[in-house]
Amino acid sequence: MYSVLLVSSSWLVREAVRVLVEGHEEFKVIGEADGGSRTLHLLRSLSPDLILYDLDPDYDAAIELIRRIMKDRPGVKIIAISMRSEDAVVESVLRAGVRGYLSKVEPSADVIQVLKTVAQGGAYLSGVAAARVMDWVKNHKHKLNPALESLAEREVQVLRLLAGGKATKEVAVELNLAVETVRTYRKTLMKKLRLHNVTELMHFALAAKLIVIGGPLDRGEDPGGNPT
């Protein structure tokens, strides 16, 4: 069972999301906060697997707090939800280190889908956010890192699968490798590409056209457009 911390300035949002989350046996809400100092206080005593963070209405303050949480607790997986879908908001929250982004205009069932995907080591973008990221790639706002040319074929395979949302164990099974070998590949990739987390890995893979997205980031695609 995965533990979840709910963060929202809206009591109504917290109550509605709690009902959704606790309707599934895989998840349990272990705490609620309205943001700010209360969130940090709870994190001193709780160790949630996931944080479902409502960015509204003060998304600037929310993103800043997410950065602070990621600095202090890099192992926690944060999912952001918001009514906002402007480029600046989507890009800022992804760069802050969240593993999932869900628009409030999406169906409520997507809350469970994003929780499952992120809990299992993947990343998730709602349709609205995915469209934004694809626009960035199309407009060349994320340039291809020349370091891609230095990667061996096996490293590219591991990169594509990790960025596509596969957990380390899943990559190991798919490529018939030991889990520790995949971990070594991951460390080498991060060093070669000068990346620091899975979100940056995803951005790089998108810009390099190694993956495409449309909801859960669990489907890789090679540069020629063929599914892996």
Q: Are residues 51 and 95 in the same domain?
A: yes
Do residues 103 and 203 share a domain? no
Tens digit of each residue's pLDDT, the chain (228 residues): 999 999 999 999 999 999 999 888 899 999 999 888 889 889 989 999 999 999 998 888 898 899 889 888 888 999 999 988 777 778 788 888 899 998 888 888 788 889 999 998 888 888 777 776 776 666 654 444 566 667 777 888 888 888 877 888 988 998 889 999 999 998 888 888 888 877 787 777 777 766 654 444 443 333 333 333
Beta-carbon contacts of 4 under 8 Å, excluding residues fewer than 6 positions away, are 21, 27, 28, 29, 30, 48, 49, 50, 51, 52, 115
Question: The domain containing residue 179 runs over which residues?
Answer: 142-207
> Are 121 and 11 in a shared domain?
yes
189 shares a domain with 101: no
Answer yes or no: do 61 and 85 share one domain: yes
Contact between 49 and 4 (Cβ < 8 Å) = yes
Shared domain for 9 and 78, answered yes or no, is: yes
Does 19 lie in the same domain as 117? yes
Domain boundary (82, 113, 137) is at 137
Tell whether 223 is covered by a domain: no
Among 137, 157, 190, identify where a domain stops: 137
State if pTM tops 0.75: no
Instruction: Report the C-alpha gap between 68 and 6 in whole angstroms.
Output: 17
